[in-house]
Amino acid sequence: MSEGGGFGLSFAERFFGLLLIITGAIAMYYTFLSTNELGVYSAFFGLLSVIPLVLGLILMTAKIE
């Protein structure tokens, strides 16, 4: 295996990070759009939508060694 980690692995990491960012942003948008219907659970679902967003940002900024 090459020492650089390979282009495919780096591309896959960035691609899945971008997918997680998009998914987290869409989930956050719909969570905050429907806060009246969710009631007391809006903070819980808001937190659940932030988790993939943060994981996606970590994947986008991580360096493969």
pTM (two decimals): 0.80
The pLDDT of residue 4 is: 60
Token pair belonging to 46: 């808001």
The interaxial angle of helices 42-61 and 7-33, nearest 10 deg, is 160
The pLDDT of residue 5 is: 59
Give the span between the Cα atoms of 25 and 15, in whole angstroms. 15
Which is more confident, 19 or 8?
Answer: 19
Which is more confident, 11 or 52?
Answer: 52
pLDDT tens-place string over residues 13-65: 889 999 999 999 999 999 999 989 988 999 999 999 999 999 999 988 887 66
